[in-house]
Amino acid sequence: MVSRRPYGGRLAVAERDIDGCHPAARPDGGDAVARSARARRVSNGIRRTTGAARLSVAAGRVASASHRRAGARWHSGEGAVIFAPLAIRDFRRYYIGQTASAFGDSLTPFAMAFAVLHLTGSAVDLGVVVLSTRLPIIVLTLLGGAAGDRFQRRTVMLVADLVRFVAHGVTAVLLLAGVAEIWMLVVLQLVAGAGSAFFNPAAVGLVGSLAGKERLQAANSLISISRSAASILALGAAGALVALVGSGWAVLIDALTFLVSAFFIFLLPRALAGDRPPAGGGLLASIGGGLSQVGRRPWLWVWIVHSALTNVIVVSPILVLGPYVADLHLGGAPAWSAIGIAYAVGGVAGGVIAARWRPGRPMVAGMTFFLLMAPLPALLAVPAAVWALVLAGVAAGLQLVVHNVLQTTAIQQHVPEGFVARVTSVAVLGSLVGAPLGMGFAGPVAEAFGTRPVLIACAVVAVVSTGAALAVPSVWRIRREEARAASRTAAPSAGSAGASRSTSL
């Protein structure tokens, strides 16, 4: 597009040549031939300028229309776009460490579930242990978000990884020695959960510093793909480890992966762009700033409330009752491992979709995808054959990754960088605050009313709550950053067109 300043400047020169030359610039009385030639040159210049402006306006209109048509278009033939963040050395280091950590993260929940079942056989005890991993995240996540925005995120994450290494390492030793008791596992999971409460909000902010805003969705999708792919390997390994040598070895491997993650975080630069602690105020004031940022964004409230409700009534009961159903009706660890692997495969597919798909309304798209969660609890309620549950697991994994990538990217794009960790922590707190209730009550409610009615209720709530969330107008108002940028650039193009038409008359 021809810029307004050179365009206007050229017209100004032309006008002076025709009408405003100083008498000293031409012979007294003037030369008719010279004036005629000069007028022809000026006229040609005006026509060339006007033609260039028209071409620029036409190109701007085409580009603007293309942006609008691409609102929710699949970005085809752009595999390189998915992997673009890996060209950045620091992001590549972070990515390698998180991939290793994701492998371990997928080992421990599976191993801990069957460790508890083998110790006591109680769904209630299993719910308590699973709850102990989530409770510190709920209690400490606001503090973790404030720390992630106030201190260097690299340092916060490094300390958190070392804390989790110690917690899981001691858990593994207790299980391998055969002296573990439920209360010991609960205490150690509380410590590990505290590390996650500080690590996760800082990580969301750090990715923006490492990858840059233009690569955010691709970077988030890559991380999700690596987690899902690592889960495929880890869940297969977990099933074999639990069946052959016991849960302790799986937890020990998880502990070692936290060391790998800490090593690659240590390699990151001490001072990253956009990773500067804000001046002034304490941690409580920082927490208040994060709450204020969330309070200004109704679309984020709806997402948080929807996540909170579905985590309580849909996801939490599946985490507790899924292994219980598998152990009782489906053959135990191998069946639940197969469902978990299918979930991870769906996550890989979801990561690919999220990396290449740019929905014009990401909130609507993310919530609609959540409907794919409903078949899993419905089929567990039957219980259906393992192959049917595997397919439901693929759908559930796919929706989770697409849902989370779109949410994370929306926060990174629509929230000021200095508040990203705090806003993330508020979103995490709101989403998970009811999870302990779901995990703590899933076992007792299932024992009182039966496993089947509880799981059927999970499927119904997944559908009804999503429909209610989609009925809220603010969900439809949030647009992806590229669409907003395209609409902003359309106005200057129109202005240039107006200038071109007025000049050509």
Contact predicate 226/201, CB 8 Å: no
Alpha-carbon span 266 to 262, nearest angstrom: 6
- CATH architecture for segment(s) 82-481: Up-down Bundle (1.20)
- Dig out the tokens for 312 from the structure: 């309580």
- Residue of 478, 481, 486 lying closest to 364 (CA atoms): 478
Q: What is the pLDDT, as a whole number, of residue 18? A: 30
Contact predicate 479/361, CB 8 Å: yes
The number of beta carbons lying within 10 Å of the beta carbon of residue 278 is 12
- Residue of 88, 36, 153, 22 lying closest to 424 (CA atoms): 153
Q: What is the pLDDT, as a whole number, of residue 69? A: 41
Q: What is the pLDDT, as a whole number, of residue 189? A: 92
Q: What is the pLDDT, as a whole number, of residue 30? A: 43
C-alpha distances (whole Å) from 405 to each of 60, 351, 358, 413 are: 31, 8, 11, 12
Q: Which residues of the chain have pLDDT under 50?
A: 1-35, 37, 39, 42, 45-78, 273-275, 279, 482-505
Alpha-carbon span 465 to 308, nearest angstrom: 11
Q: Determine if residue 22 is left, alpha or beta; phi over 0 gives left, psi from -120 to 50 gives alpha, anything else beta.
A: beta
- Residue of 230, 289, 297 lying closest to 425 (CA atoms): 289
Q: What is the pLDDT, as a whole number, of residue 80? A: 57
Alpha-carbon span 178 to 185, nearest angstrom: 12
Q: What is the pLDDT, as a whole number, of residue 207? A: 84
Q: What is the pTM of this model?
A: 0.63
* 28-45 residues labelled b (16+ CB within 10 A) or e (exposed): eeeeeeeeeeeeeebeee
